[in-house]
Amino acid sequence: MNKAEILKEIIEQRRSIFPKDYTDAKIPQDLIDEILNSAICAPNHKRTKPWRFKIFRGEEKSALASEMQAIYKASQPGHLFLEKKYNDIGFKINKADTVVSIMVNFSGMVPEWEEIAAVSMAVQNMYLTCTANGIGCYWSSPKIVDHLKESLTIEENQKCLGLFYMGET
């Protein structure tokens, strides 16, 4: 198969695969590095490199799950609180081997939409690299991420666009 055929096959196979379908196998660190290195190859106007990623594994990932559950519980009026949703938040994060926060850094040099587009292209590169390596993944953008400003150390010119879940399938 030539490169174009291989690329076409990877693009066509790219899917969101959710944590419920992940195994308990660990993704090797060198593969996590490869996935993130593919992200930073995304085009970006004026070379602003607007993406910011934070990797959560092990105890940090567990702490993220607990924090997001607490935020959900605190932000829902009693009559809207759903125990299932609360449990799902923890399950998804804990079932994934690795969770990566996806943030955009607005440089002020180009329109904000261009920097969001560049981050989206970086995430697409992550999706394609995961697909090529048999890693399940998906990008989630729950409203709760707006409340993670301190734990993600988000600066004034930054915004969290969601979480990228990864796991062996």
Walking along the chain (169 residues) 10 residues at a time, the average pLDDT comes out as: 93 96 97 98 96 96 95 90 95 97 97 98 98 97 85 89 97
CA atoms within 13 A on the CB side of 118: 24
CB count within 10 Å of CB 75 equals 13
The answer to whether 138 and 111 have CB atoms below 8 angstroms apart is no
CA pair distance 99, 89, nearest whole angstrom: 12
pTM of the model: 0.94
